[in-house]
Chain A
């Protein structure tokens, strides 16, 4: 039977059919694509969240509800839309982005932006009114107030970025469509991520290999989370 008890899987780990550099290159591609997308999303989302959190304007609730809807947007649909955009026949076709990391970053950006914006916004909105008032009262400019709020909301924003990263790195549908799951013949990943590699192995019935890659993916996500939490803790201690 293909699916054996987990205990029996462990000895099989020793002689998995990985070529040299294969696993490290798919880890690299996974991290590169996800981190680049999350960095771009953060650069876009946090200012938007500050703006939305500190300003009052008509239609604010509507904008918020659009962002919240975006959090649940199906990734394969994003993949399809990006595919149409970057395909040779699409509006961005002349850039020849199809089956590249850049196309994958585009789809991950679209996917990571709503959660980062929404959670950052919640964190910023959660900063107590007295804190803002105090900053104002001390003669702070709007920029100073924004800085104070940002400082107060930093854990929430870190959580937002982690949520965005989690969505990006664990996502499989859109990167498969726009990236093409490509490795070179020598087994070095070009657009293959951990998730699409797992999908490929499962498609071939290589469940043990898929499990190992899954373990690598989970470890990676845990590590990134731990690093961020640790980083955050250091800030809070006196």
Chain B
């Protein structure tokens, strides 16, 4: 077995001023077998979306994983598009995102393997109490967006290729409206920032429920169109997936540890921890990996059909 790059670099790093992180790993690199001890001391790089990170979920559940395997997790919050791009470049080992279309493309291009459904929450359309476009209580997200467009009420878009932005664009498309004009503003920033911008301007925006809840006390916006968790339309659901970077494409990807992580986070224990994670008394994420009625579709890209096996 060739010298593992990461361990080699650890050894080199120890001899330089640059070695503060690595000393503890040196004793443990003779064995690269299948047992979990082989991953001890290693570091998993997880690229993820801002919503899982900014809500504090990952910080709440990761210590359990780190302790169990004796590893550390470097969580980099980038937004779905950037998180997948980092993984595509081989700069992360595992990806947690929420845009099924982009995840499937990533899988079909061979960069990801072993995708699992992880958890879900939902999106909500928020806006000022005054509700200039009159969308409050609408049961349809697309009708609400159409009303906003017709009223030319200010709408703040993430505009950053994140999972939320992707969902928003899908909604506009479903509404048959091409957003544009002075009332449609792209911030190019994270969800929290977009909520602040919308708040300052008394504008509408699409937010994931978790970020909105975590920020609600700071802003004057209110939920005008609910997602499926509160009985709103299914189109506002927000499913998260977890994928390992394909070690066949990027040989330096820490695949053993990535799979240990996926196995752990889809286990009943971690799924319980996810459902128990609350902020301001509200549950933010709903586990989806463990079910008595498993969805086999989660293992293949959506819409994947081979002509022979369509049943």
Interface residues of A (CB under 8 A from B): 1-2, 32, 36, 87-89, 93-96, 98-102, 105, 180-187, 190, 200, 202-207
Contact = CB atoms under 8 A, between A and B. Distances in A.
B43 to A, nearest CB: 9
B49 interface: no
Interface string B186-209: 000110110110010000000000
B5 A94 contact: yes
A88 B252 contact: yes
11 contacts: A88-B250, A88-B252, A94-B252, A101-B18, A101-B20, A180-B74, A180-B78, A190-B21, A205-B193, A205-B219, A207-B218
B76 A203 contact: no
Contacts of B196: 2, 205
A182 B74 CA distance: 6
Given A99-B91, A187-B59, 16 more contacts: A2-B218, A98-B91, A100-B21, A101-B20, A102-B13, A180-B74, A182-B75, A183-B59, A184-B62, A184-B72, A185-B75, A203-B54, A203-B190, A203-B192, A205-B195, A207-B218
Interface residues of B, number: 41
Interface string B66-86: 100000111111100000000
A45 to B, nearest CB: 18
Contacts of A203: 50, 54, 189-190, 192-193
Interface string B32-73: 000000000000010000100010001101110010000011
A88 B190 contact: no
Interface of B: 5-6, 9, 13, 17-18, 20-21, 45, 50, 54, 58-59, 61-63, 66, 72-78, 89-91, 189-190, 192-193, 195-196, 199, 214-215, 218-220, 250, 252
A119 B247 CA distance: 48
A99 B74 contact: yes
Contacts, number: 86
A87 B91 contact: yes
- The A interface is mostly helix, strand or loop, or mixed, namely loop
B76 A181 contact: yes
A99 B90 CA distance: 12
B279 to A, nearest CB: 12
Interface centre among A101, A182, A204 (most CB of B within 10 A): A204
Interface centre among A89, A100, A181 (most CB of B within 10 A): A100
B218 A205 contact: yes
A186 to B, nearest CB: 6
Nearest to A184: B72
Contacts of B66: 184-185
Contacts of A186: 63
Nearest to B60: A185
A185 B54 contact: no
